[in-house]
Amino acid sequence: MAMWTWLRGMAARRRAHSRSGSGSVDSSAWNPSGWWWCLDHGRAENPPDAPGHRRLGPYGSASDAENWRQGLDRRNEEWDEADRRWAGDR
């Protein structure tokens, strides 16, 4: 019950904020620090220069943002290996 009350309150505050003209759907308003990889410009940016659905991050550094694909590949390899181990245990 408390969760629903909290969610209703958050939604009401968000609607009031949007009506005041200061609302923004850009997720940079929620976390203004860090580096992002911009899918539109193909570069690391701080602050981001694209809407949230067109960027990846935030990352701790420009280098981490620039190497996002290597991190993704490494994580996928780790998950694939975990899947193989799990399947072998069955």
Count CB neighbours of 49 within 10 A. Answer: 14
- Write out pLDDT tens, residues 15-72: 655 554 544 444 444 456 899 999 999 999 998 889 999 999 999 999 999 999 999 9
| 62 occurs within a structural domain | yes
pLDDT of residue 3: 66
Nearest to 66 by CA among 52, 51, 50, 55: 55
Looking up tokens 């181990």 gives: 85
pTM of the full structure: 0.55
Domain count within the chain? 1
More reliable by pLDDT, 6 or 38: 38
- Residue 37 in contact with residue 70, Cβ under 8 Å? no
| 20 occurs within a structural domain | no
| 6 occurs within a structural domain | no
| 49 occurs within a structural domain | yes
Helices (H) and strands (E) in the chain, counts: 3, 3
**Which residue range is the domain that position 41 belongs to?**
32-90
| 88 occurs within a structural domain | yes
